[in-house]
Structure 1
Amino acid sequence: MPPVRHARGQGCCGRPGQRERKSRQPGRVVRRPAVRVVAVTDERIPAGAALTARQITEIDAGHIWHPYGAFPPSTPSLVVESASGTRLRLADGRELVDGMGSWWAAIHGYRHPVLDDAARAQLDRMSHVMFGGLTHEPAARLAQLLTDVTPDGLEQVFFADSGSVSVEVAMKMAIQYWRSKGRPGKHRLLTWRGGYHGDTMGPMSVCDPDGGMHSMWSDVLPRQIFAPTPPRDYDPDYVLNLELLLSAQADETAAVIVEPLVQGAGGMRFHDPRYLQALRDACDRHGVLLIFDEIATGFGRTGRMFAADHADVRPDIMCVGKALTGGYMTLAATLCTAELGRAISAGEAGGLMHGPTFMANPLACAVGAASLELLVSRDWETEVADLEDGLTAGLAPAWDLPNVVDVRVLGGIGVIELDAPVDMVSATDAAVAAGGWLRPFRTLIYAMPPYISTPDDLATVTGAMVAAAASQAQGGSPG
């Protein structure tokens, strides 16, 4: 593919630039606005003109980082022209059933009229105002809804830009709480191996330090405390050893942070909910806070509104995101108890020391409130139970494949685990050929589809998963 060239008058990053014309006056530069164009190989496209699929692909390959991606990309990304319901429509005319729910966020599907209307109505009022010294109805409405549906006692809401930021804020809450209490030595976090909590520096420090996707950063991250990955089934000896570790480290441990019930991007592992009660009890005995990262599991994905509800456990701090806006806007939240809020506010700093520019964005909060109201108005528990049944039935044939070591389903999560790393190209090609969109990683082919998925949708998604797994048995090379 020919390299993408910058249009004349653009800067090194492809941003529209300005041509410089030197003045006769020394030291003064007169800037004349350049014609705004987009550069695609040898073409010059006027601003506002529609791009072809080829042009999109070439600009994308030349300029845009994708998640965990590289330059040049190993394969071009598929160009999505539109999406509605559970379907992604590609620019080449193909239609795929989305098994990923836009990385687990689009629980209501795409172009839902309730969420579309909420976004339009809010745009007619205001898209954004700063949250320092100001407030607004969408933030108040969403905060009230969140305190209503989360475990009792979580009363204070901090609106964050993303899931990673919500975890950063949770960690800062825990550390600042103990500083306010005169215990600055309690500054470390204890967590399970095999976890994933985000891509920014604080969350990376509580991801698996050895086998995790952020292990390359271990030498520059804060040194946290790691317990073994929890077994799937309840093991009293594991609980005993976990408490012994916490007891030994309690004087420097601010909080325990875990993904309750499901370790998501770290390996799609499930564990017995009794471990959550064991953690709550141990934290209470040893004076340590408990943080639940419910970014992936929250809002019904496991069959209960939150994974914590399976054990009837309330953490001191909870992170939510992803499905919060139904996949429409980037928004997350960190909730804590009123006691934490009071203690932090009474400390030397006088408040929680964090404040994003786009905190509590009104547009995102309006859509988030509409999404949460829509969720609780529907029979979402039956919808997720139907997902569980459909995933279980549809993935049963995977057990017959020679390279499959496990098939597991919980709520709206279905996982095929292989005996070797997935080759992304061949696995994705097989899924697309079967009519489904998936994003396998490591040794896992999984799905977390929208709650509105029909039996036919689930048949397509599970068929695509089995086809992707079979493609690896037939010679897909490790990626």
Structure 2
Amino acid sequence: MSQSDTFFDYKHIWHPYTSMINPIPCYTVMSAKGVYLKLKNGKNIIDGMSSWWSAIHGYNHPILNKSLKKQIKKMSHVMFGGITHPPAIALCQKLISLTPNKLDCVFLSDSGSVAIEVAIKMLIQYWQSLGQKRKLFLTIRNGYHGDTFAAISVSDPKNSFHKIYHNLLPKNLFADAPISSFHKDWNTSDITSFKKIIEENAPKIAGVILEPIVQGVGGMNFYHPTYLKKIKNLCKYYSIPLIFDEIATGFGRTGKMFAFEHANVVPDILCLGKSITGGTITLAATLTSRNIADTISKSETNCFMHGPTYMGNPLACAAANANIKILNTNQWKTQVPNIEKQLLKKLLPLINHPYVIDVRVLGAIGVIECSRLINIFLIQKFFVKNGVWIRPFKKLIYILPPYIITNRELNKLTNVILEAFNHHALFI
């Protein structure tokens, strides 16, 4: 890769959440294996982000690679309208077996944001099938559900990622986010805001949508399982369907296969994505109950009005099947608690640093909430120089390492984070 290629990238390629006038410099990755990214200059750096939650088994995993190679010899893609194929059938069987019995209808799509769009459209059409025009959705503040328009409409309107669009979007209902953290005592007042809103608006609400237990880039908060139980009880009482967005947390990240298992509750619709293929290729799924699927199917249109071109992509389904095969060996049940234990040991002492407000750890997720904004350009340069890849945002430094990371590799990740707090110039 030449210098001119790097310059072309800088001038012409628009990277996520980046200015085209003054973009944050990108680091060129030439290959990846295990937990390491190999840069253009030959340097290997440890990936602390699992490529945004997805590469849970690391890179170039032989089982995942084998599944892709085997499938591509047969077909890489075929339309899903009027056609089916073994990889999709096998995947849907596996997803149904992994999830609660209530979730027995699967709609495949090609990204997490689309899985959310599908869930929202499902419930709008569900209520129309019942003769009701419900369009409002109830959620909580500090949430994030994706970058497409319906997903933005149920993400926190004050979130800086999306606030410029909110005057163009449907006005949904936002309750106060819970303040009771996962590891501390339950505060009964946490449910007050949500309870008041659902009581006053129940006949207009099409559905409730939440990220269970872990709120992602809206603040990386881990809330109390009792809150989820209270939400479920209120939804059941008012007969309002409940959507869980497990796109980031699904497949073991929090120490459970799905984060909602911490509260022992079951949604009416479940959205999955990110790590569903082990970080190899994009895919998502929206699972729902037979009742919702049948009600939609009895509507005036006789079908659900959605159909992505790459829905049920055979290559992606093959990778997802291989990913679930790896998960079913249950190694993650040892790997994730080991990561959690080491993150607690290494990161919790930072709570005494003057730049740190809070340290949070759950499963294979570690979060440091800072009192100052982080200089993203300088801190990424610092991290790469010291052999790790971590991408903070705003005032948060967080890591989501691949499950296969060794104690030594994780120790390097956390040590570099600790060292960063000795450099005041990295904070604004």
The residue number in structure 2 matching 1:362 is 314
Deviation at 1:381, TM superposition (A): 1.1
Once the two structures are aligned, what percentage of the paired residues are identical?
45
Please point out which of 275, 280, 283 is paired with 1:331: 283
Q: Does 1:188 align with 2:136?
A: yes
Deviation at 1:460, TM superposition (A): 1.3
Matched ranges for 1:82-93 at <5 A: 82-93=31-42
Deviation at 1:212, TM superposition (A): 4.0
- Structure 1 distance, partners of 2:159, 2:331, is 39
The residue number in structure 1 matching 2:209 is 257
Counterpart secondary structure, 2:398: strand
Counterpart secondary structure, 2:425: coil
Q: Which has the higher contact order (CA 8 A, sep 6+)?
A: 2
155-164 vs 235-244, which deviates more?
235-244
Please point out which of 214, 218, 235 is paired with 2:166: 218
Contact 2:29 2:39 in 1 (8 A): yes
Please point out which of 199, 207, 226 is paired with 2:147: 199
Deviation at 1:374, TM superposition (A): 0.8
The residue number in structure 2 matching 1:475 is 425
Counterpart secondary structure, 2:15: coil
Inter-CA distance 314–212: structure 2 relative to 1 (3 Å threshold) = farther
- Structure 1 distance, partners of 2:101, 2:387, is 43
Amino acid paired to 2:143? G
TM-score in terms of structure 2 length: 0.97
The residue number in structure 2 matching 1:420 is 372
- Structure 2 distance, partners of 1:402, 1:325, is 40
Deviation at 1:424, TM superposition (A): 0.2
Instruction: Tell me the alpha carbon deviations over residues 82-122 of structure 1, each in whole angstroms, 9 at most, x when there is no partner.
Output: 10000001011111100000001000000000000000000
Counterpart secondary structure, 2:288: strand
Q: Considering only aligned residues, what root-mean-square deviation do their CA atoms show, in Å?
A: 1.2
The residue number in structure 2 matching 1:78 is 27
Q: Does 1:208 align with 2:160?
A: no
The residue number in structure 1 matching 2:55 is 106
Please point out which of 138, 162, 176 is paired with 2:87: 138
Instruction: Tell me the alpha carbon deviations over residues 1-30 of structure 1, each in whole angstroms, 9 at most, x when there is no partner.
Output: xxxxxxxxxxxxxxxxxxxxxxxxxxxxxx
Inter-CA distance 468–351: structure 2 relative to 1 (3 Å threshold) = farther
Amino acid paired to 2:136? R
- Structure 2 distance, partners of 1:434, 1:240, is 46
Deviation at 1:397, TM superposition (A): 4.0
Counterpart secondary structure, 1:314: coil
The residue number in structure 2 matching 1:269 is 221
Matched ranges for 1:444-463 at <5 A: 444-463=396-415
Mind listing any 5+ residue stretches in structure 1 that lack a counterpart?
Answer: 1-50
Q: Which ranges of 4 or more aligned residues in structure 1 deviate by more than 4 Å?
A: none
Number of residue pairs matched by the alignment? 424
Counterpart secondary structure, 2:369: strand
Amino acid paired to 2:45? L
Please point out which of 269, 280, 300 is paired with 1:348: 300
Contact 2:145 2:245 in 1 (8 A): yes
Q: Rg: which structure is higher?
A: 1
- Structure 1 distance, partners of 2:187, 2:305, is 40
Q: Does 1:228 align with 2:228?
A: no
Please point out which of 240, 243, 254 is paired with 1:288: 240
- Structure 1 distance, partners of 2:230, 2:209, is 13
Instruction: Tell me the alpha carbon deviations over residues 146-193 of structure 1, each in whole angstroms, 9 at most, x when there is no partner.
Output: 111112210011111100000000000111111111111x21110000
Please point out which of 106, 111, 114 is paired with 1:157: 106
TM-score in terms of structure 1 length: 0.87
Counterpart secondary structure, 2:19: coil
- Structure 2 distance, partners of 1:55, 1:426, is 24
Counterpart secondary structure, 1:147: helix
Mind listing any 5+ residue stretches in structure 2 that lack a counterpart?
Answer: none
Instruction: Tell me the alpha carbon deviations over residues 392-429 of structure 1, each in whole angstroms, 9 at most, x when there is no partner.
Output: 12213423422011111000000011001111012112
